[in-house]
Each structure stands twice: as C-alpha cells, then as structure tokens.
C-alpha cells in the first residue's frame, strides 16, 4: 500500500510557514471563550455486542448493527 503525503492548506499558528492562512481561532479574541456553552453531549460507551462480519461492516460503515440506521434525507420525518 502506497502512502501519500497530505497536501495541507492550513497549519498551527506556531508554524512559521509563509502563505498558509490563519485559522479563525487564531485571532486572539478570547471573548467567545467566556460565554456559556450552547449544548452538552451525552455519549454512552458503545457495547461490543451484535457485531457485523468485518467484510459487511466495511460496506455498511459501522461494525455495530444497532448503529446501522436508515438515512431518509427528508428533514427528520418519516413518510
């Protein structure tokens, strides 16, 4: 397998490469850090049960059968 070096367009702010744009968080304006958070996520630990076969899991995009849910793409409602 050949590995290809990524063509990066941005770099950390302490990087001295010229011509690379700064990230929005590099402005030095820390006022947004003082504002309260908008949301908190609760992410339970995934249990290793009811797993797909590895070959099917690569096609499905998940190893876990319980996470393999249909995507309808119609704004969150089922017709």
* pLDDT number for residue 79: 55
User: 29 in a domain, yes or no?
Assistant: no
Residue 27 maps to a domain: no
Distance (Å, whole) CA 73 – CA 45: 27
Q: Tell me which residue of 21, 40, 24, 41 sits closest to 32, measured CA to CA.
A: 24
12-61 pLDDT, tens per residue? 555 556 666 666 666 666 665 566 677 888 888 888 899 999 999 999 99
pLDDT > 70? residue 73: yes
Residue 60 lies in a domain: yes
CA nearest neighbour of 51 among 64, 66, 69, 61: 64
Residue 37 is assigned to a structural domain of this protein: no
State the pLDDT at residue 5: 60
- The C-alpha angle 55, 69, 41, rounded to 5 degrees, equals 110
Domain, as residue range, for 55: 44-70
State yes or no: pLDDT of 1 exceeds 60: no
Number of domains the chain contains: 1
Report how far residue 65's alpha carbon sits from residue 38's, in angstroms, rounded to the nearest whole number.
31
pTM metric for this prediction: 0.39
């Amino acid at each position: 397998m050949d590995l290809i070096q990524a063509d990066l367009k941005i770099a950390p702010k302490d990087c001295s490469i010229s011509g690379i744009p700064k990230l929005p968080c590099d402005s030095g304006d820390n006022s947004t850090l003082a504002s309260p958070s908008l949301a908190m996520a609760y992410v339970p630990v995934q249990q290793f049960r009811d797993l797909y076969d590895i070959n099917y899991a690569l096609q499905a995009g998940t190893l876990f059968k319980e996470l393999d849910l249909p995507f309808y793409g119609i704004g969150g409602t089922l017709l």
